């Protein structure tokens, strides 16, 4: 299972009750953050999930409302005693921006590695040294801790959407292991997906495992217009977190001009992508009460929730 919390649900500028874009994900005791607008570390402190175990920060794009919380948060993580390196991933331009932001905090007690990405799928494993990122191994997809995929979006600055997939291992079948003549002492390694050579013979995980099991999929799309590639990218997500900068249908021209979405456009993507739940975020500061416009999304996609700061969700294997 995976836990997540919306740390901030605003766009443009922070408001007293609404910090800027940020999502915290907790899995196996480790943490991933997506976006880090102003107010992120304050919201994180209110949440009380801790700072030290944050291994990976994914940035959608380099607009201030998604990154200006970084210098303060990175400092606080250092003060919390982190020594392990941290990885920050983002679109084209993130390396230069980070170089600038890091000059404001020259004495971090851990290394920060920056990865500039466009469209990719990578396997993520957590270990004692933080996080390890590898090229996705198609043959052994079910044995990483997480798979992260990215999609190029349509915004006024290079911007990427993220999907996270938590694979679920196939079921162990002792009957199959016995009939394949697998010695009992090898069962555990094979169950963990590692082939073993024993007494000159190689044993494969497929000799003890059977069937495919569906994992947990979560996607995060902000800031963008609703482009045609999004439904396939988010397809089958248990939770689709999406920007809904404007609730009022009258704001369509503003949405087109600023490269954002209406609630109704996000809801259509959720419908086309056959997700289970839509969670709206990144509300314009002119929208005092986003829930006032909920109906504009609900009539298209009934399982829609209007996000708010520190909304918490637990996602379990289906």
For 156-193, letters b (16+ CB in 10 Å) and e give eebbbbbbbbbbeebebbeeebeeeebeeebbeebbeb
Q: Is 65 in the site for Zn ion (CB under 5 A)?
A: yes
CB contact at 8 A, 37 and 9: no
Please confirm, yes or no, whether 65 is among the known catalytic residues.
yes
Binding span for Zn ion by CB under 5 A among 61-69, 112-120, 142-150, 160-168 = 61-69
| Nearest residue to Zn ion on Cβ basis | 63
**DSSP code for 20:** B
- Please identify, using beta-carbon distances, which residue of 11 and 226 lies nearer to Zn ion: 11
Binding span for Zn ion by CB under 5 A among 76-84, 116-124, 215-223, 286-294 = 215-223
Which position among 5, 7, 9, 11 is part of the footprint of Zn ion (CB under 5 A)?
A: 11
Q: What are phi and psi of 283, to 5 degrees?
A: -85, 140
Supply the minimum distance, in Å, between the C-beta of residue 65 and Zn ion.
4
Strands 86-90 and 196-198: unpaired
Supply the minimum distance, in Å, between the C-beta of residue 183 and Zn ion.
56
Supply the minimum distance, in Å, between the C-beta of residue 6 and Zn ion.
14
Q: Is 260 in the site for Zn ion (CB under 5 A)?
A: no
**Of 35, 55, 65, 309, which residue is the catalytic one?**
65
Strand order through the sheet with 277-281: 130-135, 121-127, 146-152, 160-168, 213-221, 239-243, 277-281, 304-306
Gyration radius of the chain's alpha carbons: 21
Q: Is 63 in the site for Zn ion (CB under 5 A)?
A: yes
Enumerate binding residues for Zn ion (CB under 5 A).
11, 63, 65, 223
Q: Which residues are catalytic?
A: 65
């Amino acid at each position: 299972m995976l836990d997540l919390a919306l740390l901030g649900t605003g766009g443009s500028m922070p408001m007293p009750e609404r910090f800027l874009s940020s999502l915290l994900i907790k899995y196996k005791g480790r943490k991933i953050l997506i976006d880090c607008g102003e107010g992120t570390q304050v919201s994180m402190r209110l949440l009380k999930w801790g700072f030290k175990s944050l291994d990976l920060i994914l940035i959608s794009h380099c607009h201030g409302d998604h990154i200006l919380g970084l210098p303060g948060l990175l400092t606080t993580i250092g003060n919390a005693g982190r020594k392990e390196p941290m990885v920050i991933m983002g679109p084209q331009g993130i390396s230069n921006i980070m170089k600038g932001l890091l000059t404001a905090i020259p004495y971090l007690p851990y290394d920060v590695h920056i990865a500039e990405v466009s469209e990719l799928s990578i396997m993520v494993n957590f270990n004692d040294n933080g996080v390890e990122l590898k090229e996705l191994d198609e043959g052994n997809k079910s044995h990483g801790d997480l798979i992260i995929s990215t999609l190029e979006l349509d915004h006024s600055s290079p911007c990427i959407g993220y999907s996270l997939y938590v694979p679920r291992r196939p079921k162990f079948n002792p009957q199959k292991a016995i009939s394949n003549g697998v010695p009992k002492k090898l069962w555990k390694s094979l169950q963990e997906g590692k082939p073993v050579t024993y007494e000159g013979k190689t044993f494969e995980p497929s000799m003890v495992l059977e069937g495919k099991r569906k994992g947990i999929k979560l996607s995060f799309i902000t800031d963008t217009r609703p482009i045609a590639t999004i439904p396939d990218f988010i397809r089958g997500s248990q939770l689709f977190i999406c920007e809904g900068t404007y609730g009022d249908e009258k704001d369509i021209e503003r949405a087109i001009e600023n490269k954002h979405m209406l609630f109704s456009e996000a809801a259509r993507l959720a419908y086309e992508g056959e997700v289970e739940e839509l969670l709206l975020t990144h509300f314009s500061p002119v929208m005092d009460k986003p829930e006032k416009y909920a109906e504009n999304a609900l009539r298209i996609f009934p399982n829609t929730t209007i996000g708010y700061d520190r909304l918490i969700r637990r996602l379990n294997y289906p």
